[in-house]
């Protein structure tokens, strides 16, 4: 008998089918045994009646997280009038035979059967593999899977070519100190802080490129929105007229992802009482104007012409009230705050043609127009106190005739964190890595 997935079981009412899955919950009512069985597609209630003594005997020691194979009759559920708990749909499986495929060899350290487990984040991460079996935690990664698919689809639809760039580099991507050094045979190498240089090189050949790839940042943060290894959604596009072209492309990609998740993840979103933003034009506000708004509306002043996490939260609050938008572009960041490859603004080189995209109080993306003139690029590298010789391979890209271009780096896990209003970004990372955590 071929296995039937739980989601397809309603098509087989009146038939005997074979199901495989994990036990979420076991309940005994007199001589009846009820098992809530879960596979990758859903859950169903399996009932073992006294007239199936071999199945009763096989289920004697079955407990939560046992892996089972059951064969049974698919029946419509009789309802509460016959004292059946309505928790797992409109059908049930009347078990004829049962086999234990695998059993926990230790006492389970956490109970994942409850929607709300009420455990500390460190506990959930320490027992991550088991915690992922919880319905609400599992829903995070069902949504994340659809986010990955949606970004790829949106970019391909917009004419972007998918590339994969090196993560072991000869030089740190953006200079500074926020990089991981590694031993590379008899040399020192660096883990990629971003695919910036290589996606620009890819753009110079293919015009539009994107990548879904790992990013490493050696930043000693202890915040709810930073990890040291994350998955970036990157893109670069050529022949732009201004950074507005780049923002427009990112805006379209964002709403394509939101709409896909809204259509495919309704049950998972409902577990978190979450929703995705509706499509609308994302407001654009210059950073200098945003800082003036913070001062006028909230009495908040910032240092160094920059905006901090509280400022991001407040400006999103302001934009939500004024425009009804969950997202906002902050544009034209000061030159001293941006990487050396950022295009200076024509009207004032103290500012750049760059932006951040904020979503429900948190920055999720950064991007803008890049410098495509090699002489200007070398000058900006020197202005940052760096040596152009250390970036020769990068600068050489632009000696072969590279068009005006721009792009973005988008933190995928932050999107999930903000959609679901998770307390920490670590909840949106399958196995997070931070300053203290290298396992599991």
What residues are labeled active site? 217, 219, 225-226, 363, 366, 414
Task: Please enumerate in sequence order all residues whose Cβ is within 8 A of that of 179, keeping only pairs 6 or more positions apart, or say none.
Answer: 172, 173, 190, 191, 193, 216, 217, 218
The single-letter DSSP state of residue 3 is B
Name the phi and psi angles at 116, rounded to 5: -105, 110
State how far Cα 126 lies from the chain centre: 20
Sort strands 91-102 and 42-48 into parallel, antiparallel or unpaired.
Answer: parallel
The answer to whether the CB of 232 falls within 8 A of the CB of 211 is yes
Report in angstroms the alpha-carbon separations of 85 from 5, 24, 45, 319, 367. Answer: 22, 14, 9, 46, 52
CA angle 130, 136, 139 (to 5 degrees): 95
From the number of C-beta atoms within 10 Å of its C-beta (0-12, 13-18, 19+), residue 157 rates as exposed
Q: Omega before 440 cis (within 30°)?
A: yes
- Specify whether the CB–CB gap between 21 and 6 falls below 8 A: yes
CA distance 378 to 387: 8
What is the three-class DSSP state of 38?
strand
Rounded to an integer, what distance in angstroms lies between the CA atom of residue 292 and that of residue 283?
Answer: 16
Closest CA to 330 of 302, 369, 368: 368
| Through-space distance between the first and last CA atoms of the chain, rounded to whole angstroms | 38
Using DSSP's 3-state secondary structure scheme, residue 314 falls into helix
């Amino acid at each position: 008998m071929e296995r039937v997935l739980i989601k397809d079981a309603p098509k087989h009412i009146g038939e005997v089918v074979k199901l495989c899955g994990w036990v979420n919950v076991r309940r005994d009512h007199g001589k009846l045994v009820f098992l809530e069985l879960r596979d990758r597609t859903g859950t169903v209630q399996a009932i073992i009646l006294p007239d199936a003594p071999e199945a009763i005997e096989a289920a004697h020691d079955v407990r939560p997280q046992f892996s089972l194979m059951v064969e049974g009759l698919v029946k419509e559920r009789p309802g509460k009038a016959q004292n059946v708990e309505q928790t797992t749909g409109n059908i049930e499986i009347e078990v004829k035979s049962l086999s234990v495929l695998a059993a926990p060899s230790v006492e389970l350290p956490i109970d994942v059967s409850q929607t709300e487990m009420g455990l500390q984040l460190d506990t959930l991460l320490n027992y991550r593999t088991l915690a992922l079996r919880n319905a609400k935690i599992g829903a995070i990664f069902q949504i994340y899977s659809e986010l990955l698919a949606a970004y790829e689809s949106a970019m391909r639809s917009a004419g972007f070519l998918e590339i994969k760039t090196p993560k072991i580099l000869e030089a740190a991507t953006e200079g500074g100190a926020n990089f991981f050094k590694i031993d590379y045979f008899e040399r020192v190498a660096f883990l990629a802080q971003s695919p910036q240089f290589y996606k620009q090189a890819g753009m110079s050949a293919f015009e539009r490129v994107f990548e879904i790839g790992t990013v490493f940042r050696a930043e000693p943060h202890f915040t709810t929105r930073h990890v040291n290894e994350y998955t970036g959604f990157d893109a670069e596009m050529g022949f732009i007229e201004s950074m507005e072209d780049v923002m427009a492309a990112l805006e379209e990609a964002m709403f394509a992802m939101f709409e896909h998740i809204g259509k495919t993840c309704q049950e998972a979103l409902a577990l978190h009482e979450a929703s995705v933003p509706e499509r609308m034009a994302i407001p654009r506000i210059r950073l200098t104007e945003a800082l003036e708004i913070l001062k006028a509306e909230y009495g908040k002043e910032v240092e160094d012409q920059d905006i901090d996490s509280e400022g991001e939260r407040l400006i999103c609050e302001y934009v939500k009230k004024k425009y009804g938008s969950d997202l906002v572009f902050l544009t034209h960041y000061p030159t001293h705050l941006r990487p050396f490859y950022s295009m200076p603004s024509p009207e004032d080189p103290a500012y750049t043609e760059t932006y951040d995209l904020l979503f429900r109080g948190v920055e999720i993306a950064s991007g803008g127009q890049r410098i495509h003139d090699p002489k200007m690029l070398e000058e900006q590298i020197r202005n940052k106190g760096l040596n152009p010789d250390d970036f020769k391979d990068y600068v050489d890209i632009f000696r072969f005739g590279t068009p005006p271009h721009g792009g973005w780096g988008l933190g995928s896990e932050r999107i999930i964190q903000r959609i679901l209003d998770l307390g920490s970004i670590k909840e949106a990372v399958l196995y997070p890595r931070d300053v203290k955590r290298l396992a599991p």
